[in-house]
């Protein structure tokens, strides 16, 4: 199938925005102090088609830190560099069934991080980024995520410093993984690079373009740059289907039927292979750390835009 005609997409996006703008369930993340200051009323929805056509409703140009959504794109870059087969062995693609920052998940699996979309797997992934120093790895990530977005992404210094001062749990996870021989680089330096990658500033518009790049075999819809190979995109989407919404990934697939990735600042990206990317932004989260309005709006749009991958027509 194809996406509906453009004016219909615009009006369905506006419908979704009007339906869920009043939904006030959930709470803004506050375990990273700087995130607690987010305006909970912000709500943006953006679709980027693989040909570069953009559809927008609400606050699509408001910038926020990308947080866990970075995990999907850094994973793609590392698969591109090291080969997705090696990364499968080192990081895995199976859901933990446990929260994104679980230490127990590591212990229950003999020190294996399980998948790249939880903190443990993301820390291993970041440790495998090319570069001999933390600075070189950070530069590689900033360049790579910017290539996905089609514009230069900047660091939110305030969010970075706030998380760097309070990320002892992630430091502990990296140390634990090191004790199991899982890390490809110094654990504390890796945690610092990971904290920076989570603090890159994006808008819903950027995220839609990044998702559309994964939807089109790695070709950015705006710049036409081949950022990663089609074979990498296929595996990234599989990893997202299993684990993109943490322990609620099964429920997400059941309701929405597409690979997606959420982050604690309130973004969610969803990929409609061959068609485009959908991004939502709204800071109030459910208990698993997924945006409440984002989930509801994506479910609605998956249905009315005909995006569910399990549908036969």
Interface with ligand GLN by CB under 6 A: which residues?
67-68, 100-101, 119, 163, 170, 198, 263-264, 289
Catalytic residue among 50, 60, 71, 269: 71
Q: Least CB distance from residue 149 to ligand GLN, whole Å? A: 18
Q: Least CB distance from residue 198 to ligand GLN, whole Å? A: 4
Q: Which uninterrupted H or E stretch holds 136? A: helix 134-149
Catalytic (active site) residue 68:
yes
Q: Concatenate the DSSP letters of all residues of 72-119 into one string.
A: HHHHHHHHHHH-HHHHHHHH-----SS-TT-SHHHHHTTT----TTSH
Catalytic (active site) residue 140:
no
Catalytic residue among 20, 84, 160, 194: 194
Catalytic (active site) residue 246:
yes
Rounded distance, CA 307 to CA 219, Å? 20
Catalytic (active site) residue 159:
no
Rounded distance, CA 121 to CA 102, Å? 11
Catalytic residue among 20, 84, 246, 300: 246
Nearest to 226 by CA among 210, 209, 213: 213
Is 246 part of any known ligand binding site?
A: yes
Question: Tokens for 281?
Answer: 């932004």
Whichever of 12 and 204 has its CB closer to ligand GLN, that residue is 204
Whichever of 80 and 119 has its CB closer to ligand GLN, that residue is 119
Rounded distance, CA 233 to CA 313, Å? 23
Nearest to 311 by CA among 263, 234, 256: 256
Is 20 part of any known ligand binding site?
A: no
Whichever of 92 and 283 has its CB closer to ligand GLN, that residue is 283
Catalytic (active site) residue 264:
yes
Nearest to 49 by CA among 276, 298, 307, 272: 276
Catalytic residue among 264, 291, 295, 302: 264
Rounded distance, CA 292 to CA 283, Å? 8
Q: Least CB distance from residue 101 to ligand GLN, whole Å? A: 6
Whichever of 51 and 251 has its CB closer to ligand GLN, that residue is 251
Is 107 part of any known ligand binding site?
A: no
Q: Least CB distance from residue 291 to ligand GLN, whole Å? A: 11
Q: Which uninterrupted H or E stretch holds 157? A: helix 157-164
Catalytic (active-site) positions: 68, 71, 194, 246, 264
Residues that constitute the known binding site for substrate: 68, 119, 163, 170, 194, 246, 264
């Amino acid at each position: 199938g194809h996406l509906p005609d453009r004016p219909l997409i615009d009006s369905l996006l506006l419908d979704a925005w009007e339906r869920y703008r009043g939904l006030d369930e959930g709470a803004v993340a506050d375990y990273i102090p700087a995130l607690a200051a987010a305006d909970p009323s912000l709500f943006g929805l953006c679709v980027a088609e693989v040909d570069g056509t953009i559809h927008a409703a609400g606050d699509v140009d408001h910038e926020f830190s990308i947080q866990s959504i970075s995990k999907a794109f850094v994973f793609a870059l590392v698969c591109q560099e090291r080969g997705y087969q090696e990364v499968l062995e080192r990081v895995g693609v199976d859901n933990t069934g446990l929260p994104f920052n679980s230490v127990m998940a590591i212990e229950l699996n003999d020190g294996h991080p399980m998948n790249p979309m939880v903190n443990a797997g993301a820390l291993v992934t970041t440790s495998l980024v090319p570069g001999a120093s933390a600075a070189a790895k950070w530069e590689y990530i900033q360049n790579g995520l910017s290539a996905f977005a089609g514009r230069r992404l900047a660091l939110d210094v305030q969010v970075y410093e706030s998380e760097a001062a309070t990320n002892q749990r992630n430091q502990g996870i990296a140390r634990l993984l090191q004790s199991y021989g899982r890390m490809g680089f110094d654990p504390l330096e890796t945690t610092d690079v990971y904290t920076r990658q989570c603090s890159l500033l994006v808008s819903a518009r950027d995220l839609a373009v990044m998702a559309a790049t994964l939807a089109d075999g790695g070709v950015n819809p705006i710049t036409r740059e081949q950022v990663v190979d089609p074979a990498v995109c296929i595996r990234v989407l599989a990893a997202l289907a299993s684990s993109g919404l943490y322990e609620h990934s099964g429920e997400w697939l059941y309701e929405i039927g597409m690979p997606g990735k959420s982050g604690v600042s309130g973004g969610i990206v969803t990929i409609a292979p061959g068609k485009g990317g959908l991004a939502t932004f709204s800071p109030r989260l459910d208990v698993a750390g997924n945006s409440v309005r984002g989930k509801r709006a994506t479910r609605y749009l998956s249905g009315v835009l005909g995006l569910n991958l399990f549908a036969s027509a």
